[in-house]
Chains A and B, each alone.
Chain A
Amino acid sequence: MGSISALHYLKPTRTANGTSLFNFSKNRISQLPVAFRSYTVKSSVLETPDVPRLAETARISLNSQEIEEFAPKIRQVIDWFGQLQAVDLQSIEPAIRADTEGDNLRGDVPEKFENREELISAVPSFENPYIKVPKVLNKE
């Protein structure tokens, strides 16, 4: 379905300038128990990154020059991320971190932070006892 075309797009581009790095991967990937084309991608198609939209989501105001500069670089890296689509990972559990040791959680007991004044002094605009921000309005 839709995912196949998306994954064609996401196949790593083995261009001349990337060869030294990806040569590593060619051999190794082929040694993995790869059942190619067993994708876990959901029905939605993976679209090319839309940089202005991402910038809005991430709350970073980019000017047009930055968008022009970043877009090809971001696309190149996202393309390169795509090589993981070709690896069979279906039966592999994800690891949320290194898991060298379990959590050592403490009790959820509030404690007083001693250096309150300095904490407050870092706030760029403060009117005791409030942190001041511009008006938050429902525009639409």
Chain B
Amino acid sequence: MLSSVQTPRLLRFQSFSLKCLHTHPTTAPPPPHSQILTIRKSLLSREISAVDLAGTFLNRLRNTEPHLKSFLYVSDVVLKEAEEIDRKIAENEELGPLAGVLVGVKDNICTSDMPSTAGSKILENYRPPFDATAVGKMKKCGAIVIGKTNMDEFGMGSTTEGSGYQVTANPWDLSRVPGGSSGGSAAAVSARQCMVSLGSDTGGSVRQPASFCGVVGLKPTYGRVSRYGLVAYASSLDVIGCFGSSVADAGILLHAISGHDKFDATSSKKEVPDFASQFTARDHLDSKPLKGLRVGLIRETIEDGVDPDIISSIRGAASHLEELGCTVTEVSLPSFSLGLPAYYILASSESSSNLSRYDGIRYGKQVFADELNSLYGESRAGGLGSEVKMRILMGTYALSAGYYDAYYKRAQQVRTLVRESFRAALDENDILISPAAPSAAYKIGEKKNDPLSMYAGDIMTVNVNLAGLPALVLPCGFVDSSSVALPVGVQMISAAFEEEKLLKVGHIFEQTLHGCSFIPPLVADELAC
């Protein structure tokens, strides 16, 4: 029994490290490795063929998919594309950096040879006549798109229960949500149905599911990745992001999809560094590899309203960073709480405008009517789900004549405040840390009928989108639910276009976090073989 004289801090830290160990009582698991680099080596040395590799993933996908439902569509040409990679290897042709890598793509990112529905019935069976720039870039690098992943309709939700098609389960506990809106992409990487995946993040839709599913989630700087072919939700906030089972994989994927694109005027012309090439292997790290790094723990994210287990995990992560040589201090973001209502005003307003294109005329579901306005109204009524309709209506209200100044403009002013408070905090710190969500994964159905309690779950992530900053979420521990341990992620935030720094810190963090394995029980036995 723990004695009552121990300080709260020590208690927290102990429970943190114990929780890491208890899923593997006998042997300490190795730190995560880059699947992308490992398979590249195996392919080049001809240890394994791309076809065998694809077969293994397709098998696992088939076995786990009835439980998880993370995919809306699975490609039927995966093996054919893998054969092409094998042919290139046999003929010693040059291989792209993602050759043979199996990628899941969130269904709001356009793929020319597969349906792209954004999780909405209004786009059922819609096949775009082009690839999103991010998809095109991955394919050029040799990646194989294994399928399209489930999501909350148009990205509006935090659980993936808002999909027009199916509810995705969390691989760690099938009775829980995977998070959202990129829940399918997170669950698929977590259950090793694919190696990496693309998601999108408007208010936390990559980072919160990464935390819920125990995978790495990377939200790049606004403008780092072209959004051409990303179904628009809230254009001032939307970014395409990456999921991987290691920091290196998320970084390699980001490198492949980043860069300016003439089809997206908001995409940056800044140079794209080779994010993962500077990584130091674990054996070559000295005892204080992050010496001198100033880390700010955002005070408002570890206050009342946040699950105490989450706070302990984040404090545990802070202690781990201190052990690596960082100086950790608490920092306050005064405008933090204003970010949430400002975010929802901006997002619903912009969505009411962006989603006006779904009118049943040029694509998508059309309901027959003998008058044009009825055709619009009925097509939209039949094709859009409840949450989407409500957000469009809220946005329509906020943008109504005479209300613009009271809502949209005010929200934009709050965005300025948020940006400034981040700037001040990042002047004094190299990175900021916080939880990625106020709780671990909750039960399916738990928050479905209460919009405000669901919106409240986005408090940790929306400010980062308002400021356009990059953020990396990586697993840092577990909390106990009734039956199983659930993963928790720590969020690391940096100044704009400093993904390289985040990835470097994240890589050292994950390589030195002893005793944790973030492979869900669902597939752990199979992967151990």
Contacts and interface: CB of A to CB of B under 8 A. Distances in A.
B260 A104 contact: yes
Contact of A70 (B345, B390, B453): B390
A38 interface: no
A76 B452 contact: yes
Given A61-B381, A104-B265, A104-B267, A73 B414 contact: no
A20 B120 CA distance: 32
A22 B338 CA distance: 10
Contact of A49 (B236, B345, B363, B397): B397
B419 interface: yes
B129 interface: yes
B375 A134 contact: yes
Most chain A beta carbons < 10 A, residue from B236, B365, B394, B406: B406
Contact of B406 (A31, A46, A101, A136): A46
Contacts, number: 239
B386 A69 contact: yes
Interface in B353-394: 356, 359-366, 369-378, 380-381, 384, 386, 389-390, 392-394
Contacts of B390: 70, 73-74, 77
Interface stretch (B50-58, B142-150, B299-307): B299-307
Interface residues of B, number: 95
A89 B417 CA distance: 9
Interface size bucket, A side? 35 or more
Given A28-B334, A70-B386, A98 B345 contact: no
Contact of A135 (B337, B338, B371, B406): B371
Most chain A beta carbons < 10 A, residue from B129, B362, B414: B129
B175 interface: no
A54 interface: yes
Interface in A54-76: 54-63, 66, 69-70, 73-74, 76
7 tightest A-B contacts by CB?
Answer: A98-B468, A94-B412, A61-B377, A118-B129, A25-B337, A124-B366, A97-B236
Interface of B: 112, 126-127, 129-130, 221-223, 235-237, 260, 262, 265-270, 300, 303-305, 334-338, 340-342, 344-345, 352, 356, 359-366, 369-378, 380-381, 384, 386, 389-390, 392-394, 396-398, 400, 402-403, 405-407, 409-417, 419, 450-453, 455-456, 459, 465-469, 496-497
Interface of A: 17-18, 20-25, 27-29, 31-32, 40-42, 44, 46, 49, 51, 54-63, 66, 69-70, 73-74, 76-78, 80-81, 83-85, 87, 89, 92-101, 103-106, 113, 115, 118-119, 122-125, 131, 133-137
Given A20-B456, A21-B305, A61-B377, 9 more contacts: A25-B338, A49-B393, A56-B377, A57-B400, A62-B389, A78-B397, A87-B414, A98-B467, A115-B112
